[in-house]
Amino acid sequence: MAGYLKVFSSLSRSAAAAFSRHPAVLAPAAQRQTSQQRNYGDKRIQVAQPVVEMDGDEMTRIIWEFIKEKVSGVPRKPAGGELVPNGRGGAWALIRFETLQVAVDARVVPMRVSPPAEFGLKKMWKSPNGTIRNILGGTVFREPIICKNIPRLVPGWTALPLSAAFGRSPRELIKKRRGPTADGSFVFALSLSPQSITGFAHSCFQYAINKKWPLYMSTKNTILKAYDGRFKDIFEDIFQKHYKPEFDKLKIWYEHRLIDDMVAQVLKSSGAFVWACKNYDGDVQSDILAQGFGSLGLMTSVLVCPDGKTIEAEAAHGTVTRHYREHQKGRPTSTNPIASIFAWTRGLEHRGKLDGNPDLIKFSQTLERVCVETVESGTMTKDLAGCIHGLSNVKLNEHYVNTTDFLDAIKTNLEKALGK
Please state the residue numbers annotated as binding site for Mn(2+): 260, 283
Q: Are strands 163-166 and 274-277 parallel, antiparallel or unpaired?
A: parallel
End-to-end CA distance of the chain: 10
The residues, any chain, with a CB within 8 Å of residue 284's CB and separated by 6 or more, are none
Measured from the Cβ of residue 252, the count of other Cβ atoms closer than 10 Å reads: 19
Q: Residues at the annotated binding site?
A: 260, 283
* Cα→Cα distances 329→326, 333, 402, Å: 5, 11, 16
Q: Phi first, then psi: what are they for 279, rounded to 5°?
A: -55, -55
The Cα angle at residue 312 between residues 281 and 263, in degrees rounded to 5:
20
Residue 125 burial class via C-beta count within 10 angstroms: exposed 0-12, middle 13-18, buried 19 and up: buried
Query: Which has the closest alpha carbon to 142: 254, 6, 303, 23?
Result: 303
Residue 181 burial class via C-beta count within 10 angstroms: exposed 0-12, middle 13-18, buried 19 and up: exposed
Q: How far apart are CA 97 and CA 74, in angstroms?
A: 20
8 A C-beta contact, residue 232 and residue 256: yes
Measured from the Cβ of residue 8, the count of other Cβ atoms closer than 10 Å reads: 14
8 A C-beta contact, residue 65 and residue 32: no
The residues, any chain, with a CB within 8 Å of residue 91's CB and separated by 6 or more, are none
8 A C-beta contact, residue 54 and residue 395: no
Q: How far apart are CA 56 and CA 61, in angstroms?
A: 5
Q: How far apart are CA 18 and CA 126, in angstroms?
A: 9
Q: How far apart are CA 278 and CA 234, in angstroms?
A: 13
Query: Which has the closest alpha carbon to 320: 128, 76, 60?
Result: 60
Q: How far apart are CA 230 and CA 236, in angstroms?
A: 10
Q: How far apart are CA 415 and CA 409, in angstroms?
A: 10
